[in-house]
Structure 1
Amino acid sequence: MLDNPRSHGLWEKTAPPPPATERLAGGHTADVAIVGGGYTGLSAALHLAEGGARVVLLEATEIGFGGAGRNVGLINAGMWVMPDNFVKELGPVHGERALKLLGNGPALVRETIRKHGIECELVENGTLHLAVGTQGLIELEERARQWQAHAAPVSILDAAETERRVGSRAYAGALLDMRAGTLQPLAYARGLAQAAMTSGATLLTGSPVISAQRNGSGYLLSSTEGTVAADWVIVATDAYSTGPWQVVRDEQVHLPYFNLATRPLSGNLLRSILPGGEGCWDTREVLSSFRMDRGGRLVFGSVGALRGPGAGIHRNWAKRALSRLFPQLSEIEFEAEWYGQIGMTDNALPRLHLFDRNVIGFCGYNGRGIAPGTTFGKVLAEHILGRISEADLPLPLSDPKLASFRSLKEAYYEAGAQLAHLAGERF
Structure 2
Amino acid sequence: MLNDPRTHGLWEASAPPAPVTSSLAEAVEADVVIVGGGYTGLSCALHLSEAGKSVVLLEAHEFGFGGAGRNVGLINAGLWLMPDDVSAAAGELYGERLLAALGDGPALVMSLIERHRIDCELERNGTLHCAVGAAGLEELRRREAQWLKRGAPVSLLDARDTAERVGTRAYAGALLDRRAGTLQPLAYARGLARAAGAAGARLCTSSPVVLAERAGVRWDVRTPEGRVGAQWLVVATDAYGQGPFQGTREAQVRLPYFNLATQPLDAALLDAILPGKEGVWDTKTILSSFRPDHAGRLVFGSVGALRHGGAAIHKGWAQRALTRLFPQLAGIGFEHEWYGQIGMTSDAVPRFHAFGPRAVAVFGYNGRGISPGTVFGRELALLVLGEKSPEDLPLPMSGMNPVPLRRVREIYYEAGAQIAHLAGDRF
Aligned counterparts of 1:304 and 1:90: Cα–Cα separation in 2: 29
Q: CA deviation at 1:206?
A: 0.0
Greater Cα shift, 294-303 or 210-219: 210-219
SS in 2 for 1:366: coil
SS in 1 for 2:191: helix
1:238-261 deviation line (CA, Å, top 9, x unaligned): 000000011110010010000000
Aligned to 1:310: 310
Q: CA deviation at 1:63?
A: 0.5
Aligned to 2:276: 276
Q: How does 1:282-321 map to 2 (within 5 A)?
A: 282-321=282-321
Q: CA deviation at 1:213?
A: 1.3
Aligned to 1:368: 368
Aligned to 1:92: 92
Aligned to 1:425: 425
Aligned to 1:22: 22
Write the letter of the residue equivalent to 2:196. A
Aligned counterparts of 1:2 and 1:55: Cα–Cα separation in 2: 26
What RMSD in Å do the two structures reach over aligned CA positions? 0.5
Structure 1 runs of 4+ with >3 Å offset: none
Greater Cα shift, 396-405 or 184-193: 396-405
Write the letter of the residue equivalent to 1:2. L
| Percent identity for Structure 1 against Structure 2 | 63
Aligned to 1:213: 213
Counterpart check, 1:326 vs 2:326: yes
Aligned 8 A contact 2:77 2:103 in 1: yes
Q: CA deviation at 1:299?
A: 0.1
Aligned to 1:37: 37
Aligned to 1:62: 62
Aligned residues: 427
Greater Cα shift, 214-223 or 180-189: 214-223
Q: How does 1:215-254 map to 2 (within 5 A)?
A: 215-254=215-254
Aligned counterparts of 1:221 and 1:279: Cα–Cα separation in 2: 40
Write the letter of the residue equivalent to 1:81. L
Aligned 8 A contact 1:314 1:422 in 2: yes
Aligned counterparts of 1:298 and 1:92: Cα–Cα separation in 2: 39
Aligned 8 A contact 2:344 2:366 in 1: yes
Gaps of 5+ in 1: none
SS in 2 for 1:123: coil
Counterpart check, 1:174 vs 2:174: yes
Aligned counterparts of 2:225 and 2:408: Cα–Cα separation in 1: 37
Aligned to 1:415: 415
Aligned counterparts of 2:409 and 2:390: Cα–Cα separation in 1: 34
1:260-295 deviation line (CA, Å, top 9, x unaligned): 000000000100100000000000011000000000
Counterpart check, 1:195 vs 2:233: no
Q: CA deviation at 1:85?
A: 1.4
Aligned to 2:81: 81
Q: CA deviation at 1:169?
A: 0.7
Counterpart check, 1:7 vs 2:16: no
Counterpart check, 1:185 vs 2:188: no
Write the letter of the residue equivalent to 1:383. L
Aligned counterparts of 1:297 and 1:91: Cα–Cα separation in 2: 42
Write the letter of the residue equivalent to 2:28. H
Q: CA deviation at 1:387?
A: 0.8
Write the letter of the residue equivalent to 1:65. F
Aligned to 1:261: 261
SS in 1 for 2:152: coil
Q: CA deviation at 1:214?
A: 1.1
Write the letter of the residue equivalent to 2:117. G
Write the letter of the residue equivalent to 1:26. E
Aligned counterparts of 1:170 and 1:95: Cα–Cα separation in 2: 34
Aligned counterparts of 2:87 and 2:142: Cα–Cα separation in 1: 16
TM-score by length of 2: 0.99
Aligned 8 A contact 1:355 1:399 in 2: no
Q: CA deviation at 1:67?
A: 0.2
Aligned to 2:349: 349
Q: How does 1:121-200 map to 2 (within 5 A)?
A: 121-200=121-200
Aligned counterparts of 2:374 and 2:67: Cα–Cα separation in 1: 13
Gaps of 5+ in 2: none
Q: CA deviation at 1:87?
A: 1.7
Aligned counterparts of 1:88 and 1:419: Cα–Cα separation in 2: 33
Aligned 8 A contact 1:33 1:57 in 2: yes
Counterpart check, 1:339 vs 2:367: no
Aligned counterparts of 2:172 and 2:145: Cα–Cα separation in 1: 17
Aligned to 1:116: 116
Q: CA deviation at 1:215?
A: 1.3
Aligned 8 A contact 2:90 2:349 in 1: no
Aligned to 1:385: 385
Aligned counterparts of 2:92 and 2:397: Cα–Cα separation in 1: 15
Aligned counterparts of 2:318 and 2:123: Cα–Cα separation in 1: 24
Aligned counterparts of 1:337 and 1:67: Cα–Cα separation in 2: 15
SS in 2 for 1:43: helix
Write the letter of the residue equivalent to 2:313. I
Aligned 8 A contact 2:353 2:362 in 1: yes
Q: CA deviation at 1:96?
A: 1.1
Aligned 8 A contact 2:219 2:229 in 1: yes
Aligned 8 A contact 2:137 2:174 in 1: yes
Counterpart check, 1:47 vs 2:42: no
Aligned counterparts of 1:360 and 1:225: Cα–Cα separation in 2: 24
SS in 1 for 2:176: strand
1:63-106 deviation line (CA, Å, top 9, x unaligned): 00000000000000000011011221111211111110000000
Aligned counterparts of 2:342 and 2:390: Cα–Cα separation in 1: 28
SS in 1 for 2:195: helix
Q: CA deviation at 1:393?
A: 1.1
Write the letter of the residue equivalent to 1:278. E
Aligned 8 A contact 2:210 2:244 in 1: yes
Q: CA deviation at 1:197?
A: 0.3
Aligned to 1:404: 404
1:110-147 deviation line (CA, Å, top 9, x unaligned): 01101111000000000000000000000000000000
Aligned counterparts of 1:129 and 1:222: Cα–Cα separation in 2: 44
